[in-house]
Amino acid sequence: MNKAVFLDRDGVINDGSLYYTYKVEDFKFNAGVFAGLKILQDAGYLLVVITNQSGVAKGAYTEQDVAAVHTYMVEELGLRGISIKGVYYCPHHPDVSRCDCRKPSVGMIEQAIKDLGIDRSRSFMIGDSNRDVEAAVKAGVTPVKTSKNEDIEPWCRKIVAGAIS
């Protein structure tokens, strides 16, 4: 079984200052993302993005917009030797459509665990919201809560050093 780090997207991987980030030109990587993810990957962690994208349900943008941003993100990380093993997103919003994937529900995490053979007891979720923490706890994954747009490299070093449990 694989160990993994699940990563929220907006506010963790990229600048979450915009209400919605759905255009490639608005996607800005946060400080420390490249170095931090490389540290995790080099330590044998699979990297998996788990993100709520409720703007789709609200009609603010399309699933094609989400796909374009995710393609850009994965390609840019790939250019730096970082491999994202899966990108899971929830296009729903409770005001528009109910689901079991929107964080704090665990549908996306559970699907990734199944798809990628992940050992939840050796895995982490880095997120900047209480929703992320709640989803991690429900899924049996160790939560790591950051501030929005915080440099995640120090957290990644702590995960690898076994300083977070």
Segment 34-39 mean pLDDT: 98
Distance CA 54, CA 94 (A): 9
The count of structural domains within the chain is: 1
Could you tell me the CATH number of the domain that includes residue 129? 3.40.50.1000
For the beta carbon of residue 130, count every other beta carbon within 10 angstroms: 12
Residue 94: pLDDT band (50, 70, 90) is confident
93 secondary structure, DSSP code: -
Q: What is the pLDDT of residue 139?
A: 98
* Structural domain for 88, as ranges: 4-161
Q: What is the pLDDT of residue 34?
A: 98
What is the set of active-site residues?
A: 8, 10
